[in-house]
Amino acid sequence: MAQAHPKNMNNSKTITNDVMYTTNLLEMKVILSMNQIGTNMTKKNLQNTISHFISGKCIEEGYVQPNTINIKSYSSGIMKKDKIEFHVVFECKTYNPVEGSWIHNCKVQSVTKAGIHANVHDKQSNIPATVFIIRDHFIGNTQFNEVKEQDLIDVKVIGTRFELNDSCIEILGNLMPRKK
């Protein structure tokens, strides 16, 4: 069992295909059974357990990019009945856009009377966020009316929301002129 909320210890930014991921140094308590511990097994099993709980999901820091969890250190472990509890420090990449930021190359999934629904994709084809643009903000706007399914659009973030373990971040945005 992993502790539900990893603690953020450090941040730095990298840009991947117009999706800004932040490298976070987090800590988590992880419980392994005796048969998961050994010379070459402990670190791998700690990483697999953490990955199972947070990879491709939203945590407090945002969406965790799959396959980016890297164990930095772990404690020697404390016996808890027939299990062993480890304090693990690990690095992972998260995505959490801030209000006012621009997101380029969002792929339109649908255009309805309510507005536009688009997805944000990264280089690994993950979808860390889904974008909603409300039609009421663009009445009579020709750029908005010309948007079709599968088009790439640029969006300015108005707001975001997600809950723990969501599969992506939901973004409310404004349609912006395409960057040439």
* DSSP-derived secondary structure letter, 78: E
Q: Determine the Cα angle at 122 with ends 119 and 124, to 5°.
A: 120
Structure-token pair, residue 19: 């999706």
The tens place of each residue's pLDDT in the chain, 180 residues long, gives 444 445 555 544 433 344 689 999 999 999 999 999 988 899 999 999 999 999 999 999 999 999 999 999 999 999 999 999 999 999 999 999 999 999 999 999 999 999 999 999 999 999 999 999 999 888 888 889 999 999 999 999 999 999 999 999 999 999 999 866
Q: Which residues of 100-123 are buried (b: 16+ CB within 10 A; e: fewer)?
A: eeebebbebeebeeebbbbebbbe
Cα first-last separation, the chain: 48
Beta carbons of 162 and 170 less than 8 angstroms apart? yes
| Domains defined along the chain, listed by start | 7-95 (3.30.1490.120), 102-176 (2.40.50.140)
pTM for this prediction: 0.86
